[in-house]
Amino acid sequence: MEFALSEEQEILSESVSKMIESVCDVDIIRNHSGGDKELRNILKDQFVEMGLPGLLIPEEYGGSGLGVFEASLVAEQIGKYVAPVLWVANSVMVPISLSDKGSSDLAEKWLPQIAKGEVSACIAINEVIGSREDAGLNIEKGKISGTSIFALDGEHEPRIIVTVVDNNFYLVDTKEEDVEISEIPTIDSTRPVSEVIFNSCKAEEISGGKEIIDKVIDAGRVVLAADMLGTSDSMLKKAVEYSLERKQFNRVIGSFQAVKHMCAEMAAELEPCRSLVWYSAYAQDSIPEESRLAACHAKAHLSEVAHNLARIATQVHGGMGFTDLLGLHYWFKRIGLARQILGGPERVRKEAAEIQGFGVQV
Amino acid sequence: MDLNPGPEYQGFRDQVKSFLNENSQMAGRARNPARPSKDELEWQKKLIEKGYSARTIPTEYGGYGAESDVLKSRIISEEFTEANIPLGMANQGISMLVPTLLELGTEEQKKDWILKTIKGEIIWCQGYSEPGSGSDLASLQTKAEDDGNDFVINGQKIWTSSAQFSDMMFCLVRTEPDAPKHKGISYILIDMKTPGIDVRPLMTMTGHAEFNEVFFTDVRVPKTNIVGNRGEGWYVANATLKHERGMLGDPNQAATRLKEIVDLMNVETINGEKLINNPVHLDRLMRLQGRVLSMSYNSLRSLTASHKGLDAKMGKLIVKLNGCQLNHDLAGFAIDLLGELGTIYGLSNHDHDSGKWQWRYMFDLGLIIGGGTAQIQKNIISEIGLGMPREPKPMLEEKK
C-alpha cells in the first residue's frame, strides 16, 4: 500500500505548476477578467504543448491513457493559480463519455483531435443535475432542441458539445449544426460557463444509461474538488504570508493568537481534504464499488471546507483582502462557483445517502 | 498512489484473521478499567506470544521483538476492531511509559519495569498536570528535595486517571528550584504505596470520577528512579507526550461511532417514521461521514509516510484537534437524533441508550481540553505546521 504520489505523479504535478506559474499571475488574471482573453489562448497552447488535453484519452487514440487521479493533480494546480483553462469538460468528462464501450466510432473520430488540441469539447449537462424552468432539452427524430445552461469549457468555440437527453449521451457537431453559445456572467471570471441553445441539431448517440452518466459526473465532481483543494491551499498560504508581513501594534499580525488560530483552523480543516481528494480520485480509477460515494463526499466536503476557508483567509488579509489590489477575490470567487456546479453540497450529500441505501428510496 | 496491500501484507492479514477466529472465546470482552482480571492477563500473555501486543518491544524485556512495521500494526488493529475483540491491555504504562523507557531508560530500569508493565502485572498512572500548571506544564511546582539517596516529594497532581488502583506513577517533579522552568524538572518513577501519598477521586461533569487528585506529603523516592538525566525531565516528558498525542483523536473510533449512529437511525422512530428517513438528519449524517472519511484517509497517508520513514508533519499535528472535535460532534448528533430521550441520564423506562451518548458528549469535551487543549493544539499547528511566530517574549515570561 502506498498512499502517496508516485515519482511520475510528483513530476506531473510540479511541471504543470511551473508551466502555469510562468504564464499566469494576478495582474494577468485581472486583465483577463477585464476582457483581455489572451491568457486563455496562451494557457490552451501551453496545455497542448505538454500533451495535457489527452491525459485521460486512451493511448490508442493518441492520449496518455492516465486516470482521474492524474487529472485531479492537474486540476489542483489549475485551481492554485485560478487559471482560465479548459479542463473539467474538455479533458475529463467528454473523454470519459466517449471512451465508454459502444461508442468506438465517435471515439475514433474525436478523441485524437481532442488529444492534439485541434478541437475543444464542451459538456452541457446541468439539466441532468437540476433542471430549471428556463432551460431544458428535448430530442425528436434524432434532433436536439432547447437550452442548456452552465455548460462547461464552452469558451473556445467548441467543435463538439456532449449533452444528455432522456438518459443518453449525445454529441453535437457545432460546425455542422445550428448551435448558439454565449458566456453567462458569473462571479467567477476564471471559469467561463456558457448558455448553449440547440436549434434542432442533429445529435449522434454516444452511449446511454445511468451508469456512464454517473461515471462522467463523478469524475467531474472529483476534479472540481481537486480544483477547490488547490484554490484553498493557495488562499491559506497567501493568508499566512500576508500575516507575517503586515504589522500592527508594532508586531506582525501573524504573531497574534487570534490570527494564528484562524490560520490553524484553516490548516486543520484543509489538511485531511488532500487525502479525501486523493482517495476519491484513486477510487474513480481503481475502486469501482466506492467511486460514487467517494466522489460525492469529495465534492461536498471540499465545497464546505473551501467555502469557509475562502472567507477566513480573506478576513486574515483585513481590508486588503476586500480590495481588487491583491486580487484574492479571484480565488474566493472560483470557490464560490465550483461549490455550486455539478451539484451543490446539499444535493451531493443527498446522493451520498441514497448510494448507501439510506432514506426513503425514490 | 497504490492502495493494494501487496501479498506479504495480505498474508499477514489472513494470519491475524484466523488467529481471531480460533481464539475469540478466550478474549475477555469486558474492558475492565480497574485491575486486569486473570482472564485478561492470560489473553495479554497470548497476544504477546503471537506478536499482537508488545510487538516491537525486544524479547529481552518480554516483548515479541518484531521489527517496526506500521502497516502490520495497522492491520492488527483493524482486524481486532473488525472482530470486536480487545487488543490486549491499553493503559498509560504500556502506551507512554514503555516507549519512554525504551528510548531513555537505563538498562536496569528497562529490566525492572517493561516486562511487568506489558504483562499487566504493574499498572501505571501519569503525574504531569497540577492545579496551577495545565497548558503551561513546565511551570509545575511539585518539588523534590535532595536528601541523601532519596528525593523528598511535596506537592499536588491533578487529572490523574486510574491513580486509585495504580501500583506506580511516572511523574514530573521540580528537582532544581533555581534553574529556568524547563530545566529544573526531572522525570521520576514513584511507588504509589509509599507513605505520604493521598489519592482523592475527582468528580467531573459526567457525575463520575474518571480522574483523581494526588497529594504528596514528604514522599521519599530513591534517586535511581529518575529516568533520563536529572533536570532533563521536560525533554523526557515530551518524548512521552508524542506517544499520547497519537492516541487521542484516533479516526477508527470516529468510524465506529458513525456506524453506531447509523444503527441507531435505523431503529429509532419518531411519529412512526425511522430517523434514517428524515432528510435533515441524513444531511447532517453525510456531513459527518465526509469528515470521518477525510480523517481516515489522512491517517492512511500519515501511515505511508511513517512507513517510508518520512514525517507527515501537518497530517499528524491536526489529529488531536480534529479527531476529538469530530468525536464530540458525533456524540452531539446522536443526542439530537434522540431528542428529548437523549437527555435521559439515569434509570428510566424511557431510556434508549443507557445515557451513553450524553456521557460521551461530556467526557469528550474533557478530551478536547485534556492532553493539550484545542487552543494549545492551534498554537502548535500554527507555529510548527505553518511557521508562524510564538508569542513575543515580554508576554511569554513573566518575572516572578
B41, B86: one domain:
yes
Whether residue A257 and residue B379 make contact (CB cut-off 8 A), yes or no, is yes
**Nearest alpha-carbon partner for B68 in B51, B85, B81, B80:** B51
- If contacts are CB pairs under 8 Å, which of residues 350-379 in chain B contact chain A? 375, 377-379
Q: Which residues of A, range 83-142, sit inside 8 Å of B by Cβ?
A: none
pLDDT tens-digit profile of A199-229?
A: 999 999 998 789 999 999 999 999 999 999 9
Alpha helices in B94-232 (DSSP H): 98-104, 107-118
B346 interface with A at CB cutoff 8 Å: no
Judge if B152 and B53 occupy the same domain. Answer: no
Q: Are residue B366 and residue B252 in the same domain, yes or no?
A: yes
> Residues A61-77, buried b or exposed e (16+ Cβ, 10 A)?
bbbbebbbbbbbbbbbb
Considering the segment(s) A211-355 as one domain, its CATH architecture is Up-down Bundle (1.20)
pLDDT tens digits for range A121-172: 999 999 999 999 999 999 999 999 999 999 999 999 999 999 999 999 999 9
Chain A residues whose CB is inside 8 A of the B304 CB are: 1-4
Asked if the Cβ–Cβ distance from B314 to A271 is below 8 Å, we say yes
**Same-domain check for residues B226 and B290:** no
What confidence tens digit (pLDDT) does each residue in A326-343 have?
A: 999 999 999 999 999 999
Helix (H) and strand (E) counts in chain B: 14, 10
Contact list in A for residue B315 (CB cut-off 8 A) is 271-272, 275
Residue with cell 515479541: B64
Whether B289 and B382 map to the same domain: the answer is yes
Under an 8 A CB cutoff, do B297 and A3 touch? Answer: yes
CA distance B340 to A16: 55
Q: Nearest Cα to A239, choosing from A338, A308, A302, A340?
A: A308
Question: Looking up cell 488547490, which residue turns up?
Answer: A230
Chain B residues touching residue A286 (CB < 8 angstroms): 3
**Residue B110 maps to a domain:** no
Are A267 and B381 an interchain contact pair (Cβ–Cβ within 8 Å)? yes
Please tell me the distance in Å from B55's CA to the nearest CA on chain A: 21
For A18-38, letters b (16+ CB in 10 Å) and e give ebbeebbebebbeebbeeeee
- Pick B321's closest partner by Cβ from A268, A276, A359: A268
Q: Whats the size of chain B, residue-wise? A: 400
| Residue keyed to cell 485531511 | A272
Residue-level pLDDT at B400: 44
What the block records as the C-alpha cell of B315 is: 497530517
Distance CA A173, CA A179 (A): 9
Chain A, window 5-24: residues with a beta carbon less than 8 angstroms from a chain B beta carbon: 5-6, 9
- pLDDT at position B29 is 56
With a CB cutoff of 8 Å and minimum separation 6, the contacts of B229 are none
Reported ipTM? 0.96
Q: What is the pLDDT of residue A77?
A: 98
Question: Residue B348: CB partners within 8 Å, gap ≥ 6?
Answer: none
CB < 8 Å to A278, chain B: 1, 297, 301
Cα B212 from Cα B176, distance rounded (Å): 26
- Cα separations (Å) of A227 from A85, A164, A231, A234, B114? 12, 24, 6, 11, 50
Do residues B255 and B224 share a domain? no
All structural domains of chain A with their residue ranges: 211-355
Whether B244 sits among the annotated catalytic residues: the reply is yes
**Does residue B256 share a domain with residue B146?**
no
pLDDT digit string (tens) for A247-304? 999 999 999 999 999 999 999 999 999 999 999 999 999 999 999 999 999 999 999 9
For chain A, the residue count is 362
Q: Is B104 among the domain residues?
A: no
Which among B203, B231, B259 is the end of a domain? B231
All cell numbers assigned to B77? 488493529
- Residue A264, chain B, CB below 8 Å: the answer is yes
**Across the interface, which of A6, A350, A358 has its CB nearest the CB of B1?**
A6
> What is the β-pairing status of strands A251-252 and A247-248?
antiparallel
Q: Which residues of A touch B390 (CB under 8 A)?
A: 255
Q: What is the DSSP track for A190-229?
A: TS-EEEEEEEEEE-EEEEESHHHHHHHHHHHHHHHHHHHH
Same domain, B252 and B388: yes
Residues B254 and B361 in one domain: yes
Identify each DSSP E strand in chain B by its residue range.
124-127, 143-147, 150-158, 168-174, 185-191, 197-202, 211-222, 226-227, 269-270, 273-274
- Residues in B touching A313 (Cβ below 8 Å): none
* Inside any domain, residue B171: yes
**Does the residue B100 lie in any domain?**
no
In a domain, B109, yes or no: no
Domain boundary among the residues B231, B260, B281 is at: B231
The three three-digit cell numbers of residue B367, written as one number: 478530551
DSSP string computed for A304-321:
HHHHHHHHHHHHHTHHHH
Q: B318 vs A268: CB contact, 8 Å cut-off?
A: yes
Amino acid at A95: P
The C-alpha atoms of residue B372 and residue B249 are separated, in whole angstroms, by 12
Q: What is the pLDDT of residue B36?
A: 85
Q: Please list every residue in chain A whose beta carbon sits closer than 8 Å to the beta carbon of residue B377.
A: 264
By C-alpha distance, the chain A residue nearest B281 is A359
Give CA separation, A296 vs A214, A338, B56, B248, in Å. Answer: 11, 14, 40, 28
Q: Among residues B172, B199, B231, which one ends one of the domains?
A: B231
Which domain, by its residues, includes B353? 248-396
User: Is B175 in the same domain as B294?
Assistant: no
Closest CA to B286 of B333, B218, B220: B333
Whether A282 contacts chain B with CB within 8 A: yes
From residue B381, give the alpha-carbon distance in Å to each of A117, A208, A308, B293, B386: 44, 49, 18, 21, 7
Answer yes or no: pTM beyond 0.90.
yes
Contact B389 A297 (CB under 8 A): no
Count of domains observed in chain B: 3
With CB atoms and an 8 Å threshold, state whether A257 touches B282.
no
Residues B350 and B295 in one domain: yes
| Distance between A1 CA and the closest CA of chain B, angstroms | 5
Contact A335, A232 (CB under 8 A): yes
Measured between beta carbons, the chain A residues lying within 8 angstroms of B305 are 4
CB of B291 within 8 Å of any CB in chain A? Answer: yes
Residue B118 lies in a domain: no
pLDDT at A40 over 90: yes
Q: What is the mean pLDDT of chain A?
A: 96
Q: Report if residue B138 sits inside a domain.
A: yes
Whether residue B386 sits in one domain with residue B352:
yes
Per-residue pLDDT tens listing for chain B (400 residues): 999 988 999 999 999 999 999 988 887 655 555 788 888 899 999 999 999 999 999 999 999 999 988 889 889 988 988 888 888 888 889 988 999 999 999 999 999 999 999 999 999 999 999 999 999 999 999 999 999 999 999 999 999 998 999 999 999 999 999 999 999 999 999 999 999 999 999 999 999 999 999 999 999 999 999 999 999 999 998 876 666 556 688 888 899 999 999 999 999 999 999 999 999 999 999 999 999 999 999 999 998 998 888 887 899 999 999 999 999 999 999 999 999 999 999 999 999 888 999 999 999 999 999 988 999 999 999 999 999 999 887 655 554 4
Angle at A155 between CA A151 and CA A160, to 5 degrees: 65
CA distance A277 to B101: 40
Yes or no: say if A296 and A279 are a contact pair by the CB < 8 Å rule: no
- Whether A264 sits inside 8 A of B294 (CB atoms) is no
Facing residue for A273 by CB, picked from B294, B300, B305: B294
The Cα B24–Cα B85 span in angstroms is 7
Cβ distance of B315 and A9 shorter than 8 Å: no
State whether residue A268 sits within 8 Å of chain B by CB: yes
CB contact under 8 A, A1 and B390: no
Query: How large is the average pLDDT for residues A295-321?
Result: 98
Distance CA A210, CA A212 (A): 6
- DSSP annotation of B391 reads P
For residue B236, what are the contacts with CB-CB under 8 A and spacing of at least 6? Answer: B100, B104, B187, B227, B228
Residue B99 lies in a domain: no
| Record: contact B286-A352, CB cut-off 8 A | yes
Helix (H, G, I), strand (E, B) or coil at B216: strand
Of the residues B244, B268, B383, B398, only one is catalytic, namely: B244
